[in-house]
Structure 1
Amino acid sequence: MKKSAKFITTAMLTATLLIPAMGVSANGNAVEKENGNEKFRVLIDSANGKEMKNAKSQYGVQWDFENEGFTTNMNEKQFNALQKNKNLSIEKVPEYSIEETSSEPLATYSTMAASQSTPWGIKAIYNNNYLTQSSGGTGINIAVLDTGVNVNHADLATNVEQCKDFTLNSSITNGTCTDRQGHGTHVAGSALANGNGGLYGVAPQADLWAYKVLGDDGTGSSDDIAAAIRHVADQATALKTKVVINMSLGSSAESSLITNAVNYAYNKGVLVIAAAGNSGPSQGSIGFPGALPNAVAVAALENVIQNGTHRVADFSSRGYSYYDGDYSIGKYDVEISAPGAAIYSAWHTGGYATISGTSMASPHAAGLAAKVWATNPSASNVQVRANLQSRAKAYDILSGSGAGYGDDYASGFGFARVQ
């Protein structure tokens, strides 16, 4: 059933292990300085309860992950001093960023082009070159963890169910998820644009959970992202609803906080979709969280037909060729492919833009997952994932570096489509 454009505040329903607390300002991309020293995010842990209590009191808490420790901000001098404390474990928290390629200039448009109501990627995933509008996704939530979303955009406003910021004031801020970068709005558009402004995404009847986890420069701290992933899982449980997470972000560095959060969400029935990364065509170039076994890594396809199929973009990250043909998913595996080059979608200005990257491929897959799930709402996330894999096998990708018959390290199982 279509939700109101008003945000549903669900803080009272949250059963999360995360305990936001007072601390230093938490915009993951902000430069914080103290006495001329730049501050950065760290994870502190210890089996010594007294030491942990003292550390929390001294440095403040960004996010409390309980058994995993807590995060806070400090400068290099403080970090070096704390490393001498043998009772504490301390490590720097990796930063993550949007998975958008800069291989071509950004093209922006103030008004909707009638010819783009169903962009090439939507037509391709529906396998219908004459498609004029899309449908599906009713009752399924797509959580877009990104730079935020313009929730007033004509093609998104009536889908918005939650809007939250994880980068402010050491806590979850309800009712705000402002996108000043554009990336998150573009991603949301590909997944579920509703056509009210003229643009259609893959699943226009799905509901949008817009979670701002990245700053206005497109970067953010992995603990903010991990907090949002866990919050999605807890909201899904509390509200008894089905949720697909889309993360069009990544890093070459694995974050234990994100890994554990992805596993937590997956075990709670959430389907996690992530961009493979834009470091191709080299092997072993998939970034995190896409590289995780419990995340569906999505490769990017171009609007080019070669050898009878769409072509994997050179920029799209690859897995390892020695895993080709096994039709199983492990660490550093591409799982499926979706349109990701020259993608037209919504923009944070209220207009539209064309950009490329596996960031653009991931929401096509997330939208498809929501559409598939809506047809069988009693299915589990594992079953929906298997369904996507089956659909991908039906459209093998034979073009692009590393692509070939069957399961390959460039396109994975293939291009998962509606039909």
Structure 2
Amino acid sequence: MAAFGAAAVMTGVAAAAPAAAADNKISAKVSAQVADGGTTTFWVMLRGGDDLAATRKATGKAKAGAVYRDVRAGANRDQAGLRTLLGKRKAPYQAYWIADTMRVTGNAALLAAVAARPEVKAVLPDEPVKLPAVQAGTAQAEVSSVEWNVDRINAPRVWSERGDTGAGIVVANVDTGVQFDHPALAASYRGRNADGSVSHDYNWYDPSHTCADNLPCDNSGHGTHTMGTMAGADGLGVAPGVKWIAAKGCESNSCSVGSLLAAGQWIVAPTDRAGNNPRPDLAPDVVNNSWGGGSGFDPWYSEIVSNWVGAGIFPAFSNGNNGPICGSASTPGSYAATYASGAFDVNNAIASFSSRGFGQDGAVKPDIAAPGVDVRSSVPGGYGVYSGTSMASPHTAATVALIWAAAPALRHDIAATREILDETAIDTDDTSCGGTAADNNVWGQGRLDAYAAVTLAVSPSGSLAGTVTGEGFPISGAAVTIGGRSLTTAADGGFRFARLVAGNHHVRISAFGYDTFEGDVSITAGGSARLDAALTTSASAVLSGLLTSGGSPVPGVSVALTGTPVSVTSDSGGHYRLAAPFGSYEVVVHPAGGCASGVTRQLTLSGDQTLDLELPLTSDHYGYTCAAATEGYREGDQLLALTGDDSAASVTLPFSFPLYGVAHTQAWVGTNGLIAFDGASTSFANTDLPLNTEPNDALYPFWDDLYVDAAAAVYTASTADTFVVEWRNVMFFGDATQRVSVSAILHADGTVTYRYRGPVGERATGTSATIGIENIGGTDGLAYAYLKNAVRDGSGVTLHPPANRIAATFNVTMTTVWGQNLYVVGSIPELGQWDPARAVPLSAATYPIWSASLTLPPNTAIEFKYLIKNADSSWAWESTSNRSTVTPPTGQYITHDTFNQH
């Protein structure tokens, strides 16, 4: 596991076992910072934690007090020994109870002593978290003197029809600060007294003392903008009747770990401006967090969020601005315990930058979508229009305030409130990143509707559950619709509406391949109604066939009918079989990774039919392909000093190993099943390939959150032209019952084989792993499998570099603005054949020079151009004529171009 948004890179090399265990806790970056007698500030993560037993018994505002007492007592207990050590060494430190961690300053000797303590889990560098970059927007027309975004979620209807503006609820943000006397926010600041004076104690906190005289300020504008969307007056904010407080967790456009932790503590137990005399009874009801780290799951802030939830404080987060890539939800928005918002625009279209899920443990993220493009709100000294998921999350946070003001019994009931938001969101179908029409990784539960949420919260309600079957078997994915709200049945055919307004409702149930069911049901206040439906099968036929690639059967391939829920997987012999009603269909054949590419065919099904298909081989831009391995599993014979969690060790290769045209003689082997060539990587949060986030320039034999315990080991073996890395009997972090052995065989010609032996447990089949190869910029790669059941005992895959090709590198100098990326596209298939959707992405690793490496056919005439993809997904081509060349018969082809000049 890693923490604090950065890879915890550890050396994994030591002489004695106890020393090795201590060294494995220390980030390589921290070790480097204390080399040659230097000192540095680092973070010490302890193994403590509290089950919040007292909190579960508390209710209402008392929950925050229970969390404060329980968690603080646990931290004092867990940190006692380390505090004694640091006191004796006279080492400066700051302890935090909210996450059971300490910030320490010291030298190598102190570092070693700290890491040797058994209660210490990890020692990590002190690195800031950057705020998600927001874009300047264009002002949109108001709707009846209300900003478009506020009107779009139907907040004005809540004010006018319910008389609810959020009065009695306190919202907070952890952000860059807030201009407390801004005309749109001054009246709603909790620190403003009836006589017009202000009291900042317990209402404002600046742990870094960035603001002059410790008075509220916002030196970025970000926090004032997000607070305006929550609490702003004059049609600016969703809940203008709330009171607000703020913690400056971000010094500017970046946020130090210390400030974010201190702000997290203050939210549970606000203090005076000096940080003393905590009062959990003054904790806010809702906290908005329009900040986050990189894509993926990093648990560093999870204890803070869990403690907020335990205190009954609703944790609203932005989902990140890393879209449109799937799997780009950012930490902490990706946590299951947070409620994260994606962003849409005035046309109800998802923003291209809005991060897509999945989240922690495969959960759907975002949870909901809210307006986040061209949002006008307050900024220091005036008003500004910004775009980002930072702008979306405050809408959700403020809607919670409206719900709790209208239904006080729900105040601090986070689970019930999430349920209301989920069930009243306007379903928006986009399964391009997974999920269902009603709950997917682009929109979450759908578009936020504040009026529907408040209406459901205050209405007498009951629940409805049932099971949908056909021919006696459960039907998964059936659509159950009641009064404009819909959901789909689970794998067992079950469905449940947790909250329906009391009264009579008409129910419509439809499923592909079955006749539609319609009926009525009565819901009573506090009651639990049930409706089971048995659907009648429509007339259908069977489609079957054999899938091959390179003349060999292809197992594990998805065969689906577009626009229907029908999807099957080919068996071990490449055969598939499915049933569908009579009609015309588009058959989409999509391998789940593997070495074959998908195909699409049109057919009309009027009776049983056979359709055999040959699938083309998969290739990345560079020309790597793969095939079933023919060489056997190779064991290592040299033990590598690599144990424990999230560590890496350097190895010297016996030959120059070529990867994407770059030769390597050194590599770093990680415990998490990867071999990196551009520096050590211990990332456990594996992603699909390619992806331009770290790690890159690597082989991924079995990238997952692995752990080398006493029953496991990592070995190497080498000959003049072969190098082997073997992860033998490694376990999965936190689960010693699931294990796998992996052999990676590197050949001097660039060919690499991955072989697998003795997998035990579902995860050992690859259901949470990445298997493949990737270039140095993360712009090109070949994923054999990603989160797929692709490994069995004795299986293997060989990845082949291209033959009869020349290495090509495109370099172009171009200065861009935020959200822009460069591509190259040209006249041959390797360059996309002038199709921008198939253009080759260029890496900005050496910005302003953008680069990409691939292979091209030798002695071939080509034409090409560079083009820009903007944040809104539009394309801008070079205005000059096409570039042209003839690739050399041997060697390399390299460009050194300037955009729009040649």
Same fold per TM (> 0.5)?
yes
| Structure 1 residue aligned with 2:231 | 192
| Structure 2 residue aligned with 1:158 | 187
Contact 1:145 1:211 in 2 (8 A): yes
Contact 1:135 1:202 in 2 (8 A): no
Distance in 2, Cα, partners of 1:173 & 1:389: 42
Q: Note closer, same or farther for the CA distance 1:331–1:260 as it changes in structure 2 (3 Å cut).
A: farther
What letter corresponds to residue 167 of structure 1 in structure 2?
S
Tell me the CA shift for residue 178 of structure 1.
1.1
1:311 aligned to which of 333, 336, 349: 349
Contact 1:329 1:335 in 2 (8 A): no
Tell me the CA shift for residue 164 of structure 1.
1.5
2:146 aligned to which of 104, 118, 140: 118
2:287 aligned to which of 231, 234, 245: 245
2:301 aligned to which of 236, 242, 258: 258
Within a 5 Å distance, the mapping from 1:27-38 to structure 2 comes to none
Q: Note closer, same or farther for the CA distance 1:80–1:292 as it changes in structure 2 (3 Å cut).
A: farther
| Structure 1 residue aligned with 2:449 | 417
Distance in 1, Cα, partners of 2:230 & 2:109: 44
Distance in 2, Cα, partners of 1:214 & 1:59: 26
Distance in 1, Cα, partners of 2:259 & 2:418: 26
Distance in 2, Cα, partners of 1:248 & 1:73: 30
Distance in 1, Cα, partners of 2:240 & 2:445: 26
What letter corresponds to residue 288 of structure 2 in structure 1?
N
Contact 2:204 2:245 in 1 (8 A): yes
Unmatched runs of 5 consecutive residues or more in structure 1? 1-34, 305-309
What letter corresponds to residue 142 of structure 1 in structure 2?
V
2:165 aligned to which of 111, 132, 136: 136
What letter corresponds to residue 249 of structure 1 in structure 2?
W
Unmatched runs of 5 consecutive residues or more in structure 2? 1-35, 48-77, 191-202, 271-277, 452-902
| Structure 1 residue aligned with 2:174 | 145
Deviation sequence 1:323-346 (CA, Å, 0-9, x none):
9xxxx9965621111000111110
Distance in 1, Cα, partners of 2:297 & 2:104: 19
Deviation sequence 1:239-279 (CA, Å, 0-9, x none):
27661110000002766452101001101111100000001
- Please identify runs of 4+ aligned residues in structure 1 that moved more than 6 A: 113-116, 131-134, 172-175
Distance in 2, Cα, partners of 1:99 & 1:334: 15
| Structure 2 residue aligned with 1:5 | none
Contact 1:165 1:174 in 2 (8 A): no
1:375 aligned to which of 406, 425, 438: 406
Distance in 2, Cα, partners of 1:79 & 1:101: 40
Distance in 2, Cα, partners of 1:143 & 1:127: 19
| Structure 1 residue aligned with 2:481 | none
| Structure 1 residue aligned with 2:322 | 279
Deviates more, 1:276-285 or 1:117-126: 117-126
Contact 1:150 1:185 in 2 (8 A): yes
Q: Does 1:86 align with 2:116?
A: yes
Q: Which secondary structure does the structure 2 equivalent of 1:249 belong to?
A: coil
Tell me the CA shift for residue 95 of structure 1.
2.5
Q: Which secondary structure does the structure 1 equivalent of 2:205 belong to?
A: strand
Distance in 2, Cα, partners of 1:386 & 1:179: 34
1:181 aligned to which of 209, 217, 220: 220
Q: Does 1:390 align with 2:423?
A: yes
Tell me the CA shift for residue 387 of structure 1.
1.1
| Structure 1 residue aligned with 2:265 | 230
What letter corresponds to residue 279 of structure 1 in structure 2?
N
RCO higher in 1 or 2 (8 Å CA, sep ≥ 6)? 1
What letter corresponds to residue 355 of structure 2 in structure 1?
S
Q: Note closer, same or farther for the CA distance 1:315–1:168 as it changes in structure 2 (3 Å cut).
A: same
| Structure 2 residue aligned with 1:346 | 378
| Structure 1 residue aligned with 2:245 | 209
Deviation sequence 1:74-130 (CA, Å, 0-9, x none):
6xxx3697147523542224532222334xx4679xxxx98794221111111779x
Distance in 2, Cα, partners of 1:329 & 1:204: 36
Q: Note closer, same or farther for the CA distance 1:80–1:274 as it changes in structure 2 (3 Å cut).
A: farther
Contact 1:43 1:92 in 2 (8 A): no
Distance in 2, Cα, partners of 1:409 & 1:79: 45
Distance in 1, Cα, partners of 2:178 & 2:169: 18
Within a 5 Å distance, the mapping from 1:4-83 to structure 2 comes to 41-43=42-44, 45=46, 49-55=80-86, 58-65=90-97, 68-73=100-105, 78=107, 82-83=111-112
After TM superposition, the score normalised by the length of structure 1 is 0.74
Distance in 2, Cα, partners of 1:347 & 1:400: 36
Deviation sequence 1:324-382 (CA, Å, 0-9, x none):
xxxx996562111100011111001x200011100000001111111111101221122
What letter corresponds to residue 173 of structure 2 in structure 1?
V
Distance in 2, Cα, partners of 1:149 & 1:48: 34
What letter corresponds to residue 390 of structure 1 in structure 2?
E
Q: Which secondary structure does the structure 2 equivalent of 1:59 belong to?
A: coil
Contact 1:271 1:385 in 2 (8 A): no
Which structure has the larger Rg? 2
If each structure's strand is expressed as a fraction of its own residues, which one has the higher value? Answer: 2
Q: Which secondary structure does the structure 1 equivalent of 2:449 belong to?
A: coil
| Structure 1 residue aligned with 2:57 | none
Tell me the CA shift for residue 287 of structure 1.
0.8
Contact 2:98 2:264 in 1 (8 A): no
Contact 2:177 2:247 in 1 (8 A): yes
Distance in 1, Cα, partners of 2:287 & 2:389: 15
Contact 1:318 1:410 in 2 (8 A): yes
| Structure 2 residue aligned with 1:358 | 389
Distance in 2, Cα, partners of 1:227 & 1:341: 31
Contact 1:338 1:415 in 2 (8 A): yes
1:219 aligned to which of 248, 254, 262: 254
Q: Which secondary structure does the structure 2 equivalent of 1:298 belong to?
A: strand
Contact 2:98 2:303 in 1 (8 A): no
Q: Note closer, same or farther for the CA distance 1:51–1:376 as it changes in structure 2 (3 Å cut).
A: closer
Distance in 1, Cα, partners of 2:372 & 2:320: 11
What letter corresponds to residue 151 of structure 2 in structure 1?
K
Contact 1:135 1:204 in 2 (8 A): no
Distance in 2, Cα, partners of 1:100 & 1:289: 16
Q: Note closer, same or farther for the CA distance 1:390–1:257 as it changes in structure 2 (3 Å cut).
A: same
Q: Which secondary structure does the structure 1 equivalent of 2:307 belong to?
A: helix
How many residues matched? Answer: 355
Q: Which secondary structure does the structure 2 equivalent of 1:285 belong to?
A: coil
Q: Identity of paired residues, percent?
A: 25
1:167 aligned to which of 169, 192, 208: 208
What letter corresponds to residue 359 of structure 1 in structure 2?
S
Deviation sequence 1:64-83 (CA, Å, 0-9, x none):
33882311356xxx369714
Tell me the CA shift for residue 297 of structure 1.
1.0
Distance in 2, Cα, partners of 1:241 & 1:247: 16
